[in-house]
Amino acid sequence: MCNNLVMEYVKFWILVFCTFTTISHTSAESDEDDDYLTFPPGFRLGAGGAAYQIEGAWNVSGKGVSVWDTFTHTYPQNIKDGSNGDVACDSYHKYKEDVRLVKEIGLKYYRFSLSWTRILPTGYPNVVSKDGLRYYNDLIDELHRNGIEPVVTLYHWDLPQVLEDQGGWTNDEVVNWFGDYARIVFTEFGPKVKIFTTINEPTSFCREGYGHLNRAPNKDLDPCGTYLCGHNALKAHARAYHIYDREFRPTQNGKIGIVFACPGQIAKNPGDEATVDTYYQFTCGWFAHPIYSEEGDYPQIMKTRVAKNSFDEGYFRSRLPVFSPKWIEYIRGTADYFGLNHYTSVLVEEAPKERETILDTGIHASVDSSWPDTATSWLKIVPSGFGGILRKIRDEYNNPNVFVLENGCSDNRTTLSDTQRIEYFYSYLKEMITAIKRDGCNVTMYSIWSLLDNFEWNDGYAEGFGIVQVDFKDPNRTRTPKLSVDRWKEVVRTRKLQPLNPTIEDASELFGHQGRKRSAKC
Ligand code: GAL
Cα(177)–Cα(197) distance, integer angstroms:
17
> Is 453 close to ligand 1, i.e. is its CB under 6 Å away?
no
Task: State pLDDT tens for residues 421-434.
Answer: 999 999 999 999 99
Q: Is 154 helix (H, G, I), strand (E, B) or coil?
A: strand
To 5 degrees, how large is the angle CA 371–CA 500–CA 26? 45
Tell me, what's the pLDDT at 220?
97
Task: State pLDDT tens for residues 446-474.
Answer: 999 999 999 999 999 999 999 999 999 99
Cα(85)–Cα(53) distance, integer angstroms:
6
Ligand 1 atom nearest residue 50's Cα: 9
To 5 degrees, how large is the angle CA 70–CA 72–CA 78? 130
Residues 6+ apart with CB under 8 A from 151: 46, 48, 109, 110, 111, 112, 193, 195, 197, 405, 447
**Catalytic residue positions?**
201, 406
Residues of the chain with pLDDT > 70: what percent? 89
What residue's CA is closest to ligand 1, atom 12?
456
State yes or no: pLDDT of 13 exceeds 90. no
Task: State pLDDT tens for residues 479-520.
Answer: 999 999 999 999 999 999 988 764 443 333 333 333 233 232
Torsion 410-412-418-423 (CA) sign = negative
Tell me, what's the pLDDT at 521?
35
Ligand 1 atom nearest residue 456's Cα: 10
Tell me, what's the pLDDT at 301?
98
Tell me, what's the pLDDT at 499?
81
Tell me, what's the pLDDT at 28?
58
> Is 456 close to ligand 1, i.e. is its CB under 6 Å away?
yes
Which CATH homologous superfamily contains domain 52-515? Glycosidases (3.20.20.80)
Task: State pLDDT tens for residues 223-256.
Answer: 999 999 999 999 999 999 999 999 999 999 999 9
- Ligand 1 centroid from CA 208, angstroms: 12
State yes or no: pLDDT of 20 exceeds 60. no
Cα(265)–Cα(82) distance, integer angstroms:
33
Question: What mean pLDDT do residues 257-271 have?
Answer: 98
Ligand 1 atom nearest residue 259's Cα: 8
Which of 20-29, 265-274, 496-505 has the highest average model confidence (pLDDT)? Answer: 265-274
State yes or no: pLDDT of 363 exceeds 80. yes
Ligand 1 atom nearest residue 204's Cα: 7
Contact between 104 and 147 under an 8 Å Cβ cutoff? The reply is no
State yes or no: pLDDT of 263 exceeds 50. yes
> Is 261 close to ligand 1, i.e. is its CB under 6 Å away?
yes
Task: State pLDDT tens for residues 166-196.
Answer: 999 999 999 999 999 999 999 999 999 999 9
Range name among 2-11, 435-444, 487-496 with the lowest pLDDT average: 2-11
Residues 6+ apart with CB under 8 A from 473: none
State yes or no: pLDDT of 367 exceeds 80. yes
Q: Buried b vs exposed e over 211-221: b needs ≥16 C-beta within 10 Å?
A: bbeebbbbbeb
> Is 458 close to ligand 1, i.e. is its CB under 6 Å away?
no
pTM (2 d.p.): 0.91
Q: Provide the mean pLDDT of the chain.
A: 92
Cα(354)–Cα(223) distance, integer angstroms:
14
> Is 405 close to ligand 1, i.e. is its CB under 6 Å away?
no
Neighbouring CB atoms inside 10 A of 246's CB total 9
Length of the chain: 522
- Ligand 1 centroid from CA 136, angstroms: 21
Cα(322)–Cα(306) distance, integer angstroms:
11
State yes or no: pLDDT of 97 exceeds 60. yes
Cα(504)–Cα(85) distance, integer angstroms:
37
State yes or no: pLDDT of 24 exceeds 90. no
Tell me, what's the pLDDT at 329?
98
> Is 465 close to ligand 1, i.e. is its CB under 6 Å away?
yes
> Is 463 close to ligand 1, i.e. is its CB under 6 Å away?
no
Q: How far is CA 78 from the centre of its chain?
A: 23
- Ligand 1 centroid from CA 47, angstroms: 13
